[in-house]
């Protein structure tokens, strides 16, 4: 077992098999349907969540993990690891990073490094995936921190949502508000820019939105591409077919938006996450 633990949160949307293979610790956020609270990806999985989302009269709310959950996780990991690198969803999108930072201060261990990814979903996931790979290669604690500083500005996420309704309800719409008045005319393409959700393009149809994303991929050198979808595997597979002209299909990983991210993006959404080396 590596002496360095890699920790993230459930908004990374990495598939379970990847999490296990790369020995990543994922701390779940919370999803609230009225009085009911579920741990993201543990108490409720994507399929069950989207079914509940479409049938419930209550729009779910989300919340960050408690400081106590982070403390408990860090203390447990320190029994078998020398140090921890904990990378989380942008502090502008969630208080998760703040909870992690408070936990580190409470424990008072300098071998716990808490990092704001300035990203979310598979933008965050791509960072974690690469750090976990480097960790398994035996990189030092200091080297991994240095690598994270290089990865963050090169981590990209682009996604397309059929409607901004869910982002608006969740208050995560950021600088994409300009699209609200023309929802019937265009499909907004969103990205994480400076830690916020911003508009990075627009398309008349979902397929044209895919083509926009694929054209953008051509501007980057990509080793591993993550394609993520919200309860719509057909769109993910179509996007994979289109992206395979740029990235070897063996290096394309399909994932699902988890319940927390799905709350804000809504069903039918899809996107890509990757680290750009150019």
Per-residue model confidence as pLDDT tens digits over 68-89 = 999 999 999 999 999 999 999 9
Give pLDDT, residue 105.
97
- Return the percentage of the chain with pLDDT > 90, whole number: 79
Whole-model pTM?
0.93
Token pair in block for residue 195: 């830690």
Q: Are 179 and 164 in contact (CB under 8 A)?
A: yes
Chain-centre distance of CA 174, in angstroms? Answer: 17
Structural domains in the chain, CATH included, are 4-152 (3.40.50.10170), 154-276 (3.30.1180.10)
pLDDT-derived band at 181, boundaries 50, 70, 90:
very low
pLDDT at 29 over 50: yes
* Nearest-angstrom CA–CA distance, 185 and 102: 44
How far, in Å, are 102, 115, 148, 275 from residue 109 at the CA level? 12, 15, 20, 30
Give pLDDT, residue 171.
58
Chain-centre distance of CA 220, in angstroms? Answer: 20
Q: Are 235 and 85 in contact (CB under 8 A)?
A: no
The lowest-confidence range among 176-190, 199-213, 218-232 is 176-190
Give pLDDT, residue 46.
94
pLDDT-derived band at 180, boundaries 50, 70, 90:
low
Give pLDDT, residue 233.
94
For residues 239 and 161, which has the higher predicted lDDT (pLDDT)?
A: 239
Kind and range of the H or E run holding 275? strand 270-276
3-class secondary-structure state, position 176: helix
pLDDT-derived band at 164, boundaries 50, 70, 90:
confident
Average pLDDT (178-194) is 70
* Nearest-angstrom CA–CA distance, 165 and 178: 13
- The 10s digit of each residue's pLDDT in 243-262 is 999 999 999 999 999 999 99
């Amino acid at each position: 077992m590596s002496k360095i633990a890699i920790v993230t949160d459930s908004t990374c949307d990495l598939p379970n098999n990847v999490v296990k293979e790369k020995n990543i610790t994922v701390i779940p956020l919370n999803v609230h349907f009225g009085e009911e609270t579920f741990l993201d990806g543990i108490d409720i999985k994507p399929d069950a969540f989207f079914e509940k989302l479409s049938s419930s009269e209550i729009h779910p709310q989300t919340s960050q993990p408690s400081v106590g959950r982070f403390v408990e996780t860090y203390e447990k990991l320190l029994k078998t690891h020398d140090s921890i690198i904990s990378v989380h969803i942008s502090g502008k999108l969630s208080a998760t990073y703040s909870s992690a930072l408070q936990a580190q201060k409470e424990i008072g261990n300098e071998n716990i490094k808490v990092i704001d990814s300035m990203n979310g979903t598979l933008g965050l996931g791509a960072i974690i995936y690469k750090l976990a790979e480097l960790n398994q290669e035996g990189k030092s604690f200091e080297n991994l921190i240095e690598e994270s500083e290089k990865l963050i500005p090169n981590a990209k996420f682009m996604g397309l949502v059929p409607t901004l309704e869910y982002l608006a309800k969740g208050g995560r719409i950021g600088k994409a508000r300009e699209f609200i008045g023309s929802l019937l005319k265009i499909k907004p393409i969103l990205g994480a820019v400076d830690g916020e959700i911003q508009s990075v393009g627009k398309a008349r149809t979902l397929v044209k939105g895919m083509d926009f994303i694929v054209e953008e991929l051509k501007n980057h050198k990509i080793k591993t591409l993550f394609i993520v979808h919200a309860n719509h595997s057909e769109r993910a597979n179509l996007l994979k077919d289109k992206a395979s002209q740029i990235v070897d299909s063996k290096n394309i990983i399909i994932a699902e938006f988890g319940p927390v991210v799905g709350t804000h993006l809504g069903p039918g959404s899809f996107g890509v996450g990757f680290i750009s080396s150019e």
